[in-house]
Structure 1
Amino acid sequence: MSLKFHWFLPTNGGDGRHVVGGGHGVGAGPAGRPASVSYLGQIARAAEDVGFEAALTPTGAWCDDAWLSTAMVSQVSERLKFLVAFRPGLTAPFLAAQMAGTFQNLTGGRLLLNVVTGGESHEQRMFGDFLDKDARYARCEEFLHVVRALWRGETVTFHGEHLQVEDATLDQLPDPVPEIYFGGSSPAAGTVAARHADVYLTWGEPPAAVREKIEWIRKLAADEGREVRFGIRMHTITRDTAEEAWAEADRLLAGIDPAAIEKVQAGLRRSESEGQRRMLELNQGSKDGLEIYPNVWAGVGLVRGGAGTALVGSHEQVADRIEEYADLGIDEFILSGYPHLENAYWFGEGVLPILAARGRWGHPAPPRPASQAVPFAARTGATA
């Protein structure tokens, strides 16, 4: 199977030449490039040109709304799909199913959905959601049960512990039905993923830890009579040489204020997310010892919640590491880099051709016919 690569739209405070922090209940740090439609459109067009399939757009109090942002950016791009992150407890299941159908039908099938249950009770309460973590997962499973039934064209009456609908029917079904991406490291997350996810997502950890997660979810899914694909979310710092890549990692690290590390780490330790706890263990809140595995760097997680690791190295080294994760069972890679516009090209023009030559990737867009015209060449028989 050819690997799939997705990029990221930085609606979480904007973009910049340094790490933009925030996430998981922590406010975004300063950024030099606001998340305007114009700039996000540049990123989207760069991503689709070099060969990314989709772009993840985050959700939460620290972000612009993912549905509205991607609906706007879809109109200034051509092929790129949008992996829209959303929290099921904040939208009624019928409305969410209808929104997904509208988006899918008006963009020509360019929607994927990243279901985020929400790991921060203090942030959830900002949205009026006062359930605890376990109840949020129970509600999420009810939500996905209803939404998937609606997308199958069924008339749904459901009375659950958290959600209720009666005689619900979608007049216009999404075509195709958007795939569900789902992550989480807790036992409750594993149960929901096994029953409902098309793609299980993990944040970047050393390969041994990723292998354990894949085996865990694969067994749970098999017990449900299902198969699940796997994806990983990481950042990238890839350059022509390893020395250039690590120099860029050092530059990013030098731009991180120790006071910001202390503040953000204190906020992230409040998180109820098991995945966030694992990210904090990788960086230990310190600028030292951040290469936790060859070419895997945990520096981003010092000031950014969520995905906190990056692939760092030459294009060949990064391609090697991607193949190592792929051999474990990872099919899809959701990547990003600061700034996102330039790094889409660094990865797309540096790493993807290597993976294509190795037979691991192919550009998702139809190839454009090569022009045979030679400027100013004289035609046979033509006179000056």
Structure 2
Amino acid sequence: MSAAPLSVGRRPPEPIKFAYWVPNVSGGLVISKTPQRTSWDIDYNRKLAQIAETSGFEYALTQIRFTAGYGAEFQHESVSFSHALLAATKELNVIAAILPGPWTPALVAKQVASISHFVGGRLAVNIVSGWFRGEFHAIGEPWLDHDERYRRSEEFIRVLRGVWSEEKFNFAGDFYRFHDYSLKPKPVSAPEIFQGGSSRAARDMAARVSDWYFTNGNTLEGVKAQVDDIRHKAAQNNHHVKIGVNAFAIVRETETEARKVLDEILTHADPDAVRAFHHEVQNAGNASPEREGNWAKSSFEDLVQYNDGFKTNLIGEPEQVARRIIELKRVGVDLVLLGFLHFQEEVEFFGRHVIPLVRALEAEAIADAAA
């Protein structure tokens, strides 16, 4: 194997990190009736977390849904589920999805601080600004305009950082107010803060306050454009943000086998559920002022996987997939967030056959750069 240098500098680049979507909702990660050996229950997920931890995955991301839909009839709540996975592992970091509105920052700050002490850190949060109006309506939460949701999320993040770090925290925002608030105990270490979104408001928020930015799956060129934009804006703010990209991995012994699995997923897609999801997310994507939010340009096939994971094209045999991951790293990606069809078996296969190839390519690139 050979690889061009990733970068030249005093310190070698960090190894790219791997995360997986926690299937804490039913239906898996595709809107398809193709058979799946994936379960949303806690026993399956505890074992999956342990497999992922020993297979080279650093992070797991729990999902948050308050209402059923699009094949996900059942959903476990993200923070409590994250705690259960942390209790079953020793090193895995778990990212709990948090939706401002149903959650207040005071509640999240308290929950995360306590769990941090129970498991020695390892709990992060993913602040989800919300895209589904029907979900907010169903639980009686006010629905804000697109950019207002991101303004609220930014305040949410600023409050979390302040509550977790300051002895007497004061804040006077449009959405949250605090007066000499002191949280004790504070987390054992500063929890990492993730967020997603593709709109101008989402990217600008990441460039100001977030540790990590998740983007939907995309082509290499599309990912590079987002990375370059965010990094440029973050530098203007004296801020650094790391980038994670969504991908649905289908790795088999041959590319032909992998492509056959993709064809089966698409052939057995649930058309009514995909069209309903398409209607809602297209509305969400087009709600941003520039009409460039998540899913604004997604096709029917893209949306069979919730977050455009097929676009990232991690589909093929192990070396093909490893080289595509290195290409993502070259354009600035720090983490790949992966979904799978049969989670337990495929996470283990990925850890055995793909991650070692990625590490070998990274090491080779460092050696080439030093030569």
Pick the TM interval, shorter chain.
0.7 to 0.9
Overall identity of the aligned pairs, in %: 31
Query: What's the offset of the Cα at 1:195?
Result: 1.3
- The alignment status of 1:40 with 2:45, answered yes or no, reads yes
Match of 2:126 among 114, 118, 121: 114
Q: How does 1:178-217 map to 2 (within 5 A)?
A: 178-217=191-230
Quickly say closer, same or farther: Cα 1:235–1:348, change in 2 above 3 A.
same
Q: Match of 1:56?
A: 61
* Superposed CA offset, 1:212-260 (max 9, x none): 1111111111111111111111110011211111122122222224444
Query: What's the offset of the Cα at 1:276?
Result: 8.7
- The alignment status of 1:175 with 2:191, answered yes or no, reads no
Give the aligned residue type for 1:59. Answer: I
Q: C-alpha distance in 2, partners of 1:262/1:29?
A: 17
Q: Match of 1:303?
A: 304
Q: TM-score, normalised by structure 1?
A: 0.81
Q: C-alpha distance in 2, partners of 1:59/1:29?
A: 24
Consecutive unaligned residues in structure 1, runs of 5 or more = 23-27, 286-298, 362-384
Contact 1:234 1:307 in 2 (8 A): yes
Query: What's the offset of the Cα at 1:111?
Result: 0.8
Contact 2:159 2:171 in 1 (8 A): yes
Quickly say closer, same or farther: Cα 1:263–1:122, change in 2 above 3 A.
closer
Match of 1:325 among 310, 325, 328: 328
In our comparison, the structure showing a higher alpha carbon Rg is: 1
Give the aligned residue type for 2:219. Answer: P
Match of 1:128 among 115, 131, 140: 140
Q: C-alpha distance in 1, partners of 2:328/2:235?
A: 21
Contact 1:2 1:360 in 2 (8 A): no
Consecutive unaligned residues in structure 2, runs of 5 or more = 1-13, 69-74, 365-371
Q: Match of 1:338?
A: 341
Quickly say closer, same or farther: Cα 1:56–1:271, change in 2 above 3 A.
same
Q: Match of 1:312?
A: 315
Q: C-alpha distance in 1, partners of 2:34/2:110?
A: 34
Give the aligned residue type for 1:21. Answer: I
Match of 2:176 among 163, 181, 184: 163
Quickly say closer, same or farther: Cα 1:152–1:205, change in 2 above 3 A.
same
Q: C-alpha distance in 2, partners of 1:277/1:180?
A: 20
CA RMSD of aligned residues (A): 2.5
- The alignment status of 1:349 with 2:352, answered yes or no, reads yes
Query: What's the offset of the Cα at 1:76?
Result: 2.4
Q: TM-score, normalised by structure 2?
A: 0.84
Q: Match of 2:6?
A: none
Q: C-alpha distance in 1, partners of 2:332/2:139?
A: 36
* Superposed CA offset, 1:30-54 (max 9, x none): 9765411111112111101111001
* Superposed CA offset, 1:151-200 (max 9, x none): 11331122211111212111111121111111212122122111111111
Q: Match of 1:374?
A: none
Q: How does 1:1-384 map to 2 (within 5 A)?
A: 1-15=14-28, 20-21=30-31, 33-61=38-66, 62=68, 63-130=75-142, 131-272=144-285, 279=295, 281-282=297-298, 284-285=299-300, 299=301, 301-309=302-310, 310-359=313-362
* Superposed CA offset, 1:364-383 (max 9, x none): xxxxxxxxxxxxxxxxxxxx
Aligned length: 338
Contact 1:268 1:276 in 2 (8 A): no
Quickly say closer, same or farther: Cα 1:145–1:277, change in 2 above 3 A.
closer
Q: Match of 1:375?
A: none
